[in-house]
Amino acid sequence: MNGETRLYGFLAHPAQHSLSPLMHNLSFQFNHLNACYLAFDVLPADFANAVNGLRALNFGGANLSLPYKQQAIKYLDELTPRAQKIAAVNTIRNDNGRLIGDSTDGAGLFTDLQEQKILLTAQTIMILGAGGAGRAIIAAAADYHIKRVYVCKRPNQTYTKIAAWLHQLAAQTSTEYCLVNYADTAALLAALQKSAIVINATDQGMDAQQLPLPLEVLQHLKPQQFVYDLIYHPLVTPFLKYAQQRGCNSCNGIGMLLWQGALAFEFWTGKKMPIEIVRKNLVTEIRRRTK
């Protein structure tokens, strides 16, 4: 580092767990860029100052995670179309003091599926959860010509809001969106049986032997279905283990983590992330943390 080093950051609370510094610093080094990426644990009371600090300190950009993806919007000057769709950002670029927000999560997942040669066009998919990452995937589905999206959500205080948002998305695209109540086992089963790809965007399976769907639904998984779990720590979740037992091809969320980061890196620098180098280092670090 020297007086000309361009800084980039990860703003979240907590932030110490982030793998983004590993990914982006490897990518800066590979591309011979004089830049450095750091993680910042930002308290909610300090968040506005932190975003304004990106301008004041001439940061090149930043990534955001919980709890700031939606809160950040009011401090930005511009949003990309895909960030506007979900009213959330995970990436900020500083263009000479003008802060532009983007959302690379949804595109990250679908790029990973494309890299694995998974057919997307005209397919029906099932997304479990409609939180931050889930919303990004739901909105991005139309960009990849998905025919129908089943969105499975718990009947809580945001249920009607998500229903209205899905209706709005459907009116703007050729993709059909169907909201499924998590409390309705028959509806969950019907959606599962019609879906080529099943995506877990909940936190079920991160800390315990939890499954994101009831066993009486999951037991109907067929080998031709592809199962994707956004969780990557542990590398193999109970959901993935069960899907593999049913004969399904499956993968964890490392690819989405990689590609959302690669898209952010390109948004900032115009350069490509060295995907396989970063992937290898990510897996090594996750295994180290799991010990």
Enumerate the active-site residues: 69
Q: Annotation-wise, does 235 bind a ligand?
A: no
Q: Annotation-wise, does 53 bind a ligand?
A: no
Q: Annotation-wise, does 230 bind a ligand?
A: yes
| One-letter amino acid for residue 256 of the chain | M
Gap between the Cα atoms of 188 and 77, Å rounded: 41
Q: Annotation-wise, does 132 bind a ligand?
A: yes
Q: Annotation-wise, does 232 bind a ligand?
A: yes
Q: Helix (H) and strand (E) counts for the chain?
A: 11, 12
Q: Annotation-wise, does 144 bind a ligand?
A: no
* Structure letter (DSSP) for residue 233: S
- Which residue from 105, 93, 27 is spatially nearest to 66, judged by alpha carbons? 105
Gap between the Cα atoms of 169 and 34, Å rounded: 41
282 and 259 in contact (C-beta within 8 Å)?
no
Structure tokens given for 12: 């979240």
Q: Annotation-wise, does 130 bind a ligand?
A: yes
Q: Annotation-wise, does 163 bind a ligand?
A: no
Q: Is 172 left (phi over 0), alpha (psi -120 to 50) or beta?
A: alpha
Q: Annotation-wise, does 70 bind a ligand?
A: no
Q: Which residues are known binding-site members?
A: 18-20, 65, 90, 105, 129-133, 230, 232, 253, 260
Residues forming the annotated binding site for shikimate? 18-20, 65, 90, 105, 232, 260
Binding-site residues from annotation for NADP(+): 129-133, 230, 253
